[in-house]
């Protein structure tokens, strides 16, 4: 059996503690993680960092992800751990996609806002559409996220027509009067 890297083991233990430290806060939203789940998240972090060829010093991104998303109405305890694993993977992948031209906080703000307001809790739409389109803009040189902190950015690039209540009511009225 191959001996594990001591730095990796220390990092994993630190990550487990950081994740468990969030539980007292997230419980008010009906979300909790046990030690086994925290360990699984820490192991997935190591694998994701290797896969994405990233190095992380200090506090990992997972506690920030937890605090950013824990009050979402789209989260439930049943899939909370899996949700966090996927969000962590999405985060690192898009840090790479955006060539690290966006800060962690800007990316998290963008992800949270789109998850709530555009994706309505759909992680596939978040990564496959919102983040993909935004990453293309950032790689092309867009820097507006710096002044906005990553907030209210997607409307500039969104190519999908959204439902408009007023237009709907107007069309309904026209149809009824015919």
Q: What parts of the chain have a pLDDT lower than 70?
A: 1-4, 7, 159-165, 168, 177-178
Looking at residue 1, its pLDDT comes to 41
**Domain count across the chain:** 2
Residue ending a domain, among 63, 97, 131, is 97
Are 16 and 42 within one domain? yes
The sign of the dihedral angle between the CA atoms of 97, 100, 106, 104 is: positive
Computed from CA positions of residues 145, 147, 152, 158, in that sequence, does the dihedral angle turn out positive or negative?
negative
* Whole-number Å distance between alpha carbons of 163 and 159: 13
Output the pLDDT for position 44.
92
Residues 64 and 20 in one domain: yes
163 with 134, same domain: the answer is yes
At 80 the pLDDT is: 97
pTM: 0.82
Domain identity same for 174 and 110: yes
In angstroms, rounded to a whole number, what is the distance separating the alpha carbons of residues 126 and 87?
Answer: 10
Do 109 and 68 fall within a single domain? no
Domain boundary residue, one of 43, 71, 97: 97
Distance between CA atoms of residues 170 and 163, nearest Å: 13
What is the span of the domain harbouring residue 139?
98-178
Q: Which of 81, 97, 113 is the last residue of a domain?
A: 97
**Spatial contact of 109 and 69, defined as CB atoms under 8 Å apart:** no
Half-sphere exposure of 2 (CA within 13 A, CB side): 2
């Amino acid at each position: 059996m191959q001996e594990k890297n001591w730095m990796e083991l220390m990092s994993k233990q630190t990550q487990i503690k950081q994740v468990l430290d969030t539980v007292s806060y997230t419980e008010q939203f009906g979300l909790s993680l046990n030690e086994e789940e925290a360990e699984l998240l820490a192991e997935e972090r190591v694998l994701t960092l290797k896969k994405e060829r990233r190095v992380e010093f200090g506090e990992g991104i997972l506690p920030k992800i937890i605090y950013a998303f824990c009050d979402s109405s789209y989260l439930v305890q049943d899939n909370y751990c899996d949700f966090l694993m996927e969000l962590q993977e999405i985060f690192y992948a898009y840090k790479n996609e955006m060539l690290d031209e966006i800060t962690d906080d800007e990316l998290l703000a963008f992800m949270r806002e789109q998850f709530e307001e555009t994706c309505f809790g759909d992680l596939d739409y978040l990564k496959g559409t919102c983040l993909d389109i935004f990453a293309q803009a950032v790689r092309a040189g867009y820097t507006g996220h710096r002044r906005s902190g990553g907030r209210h950015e997607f409307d500039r690039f969104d190519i999908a027509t959204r439902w408009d209540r007023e237009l709907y009511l107007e069309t309904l009225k026209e149809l009824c009067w015919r």
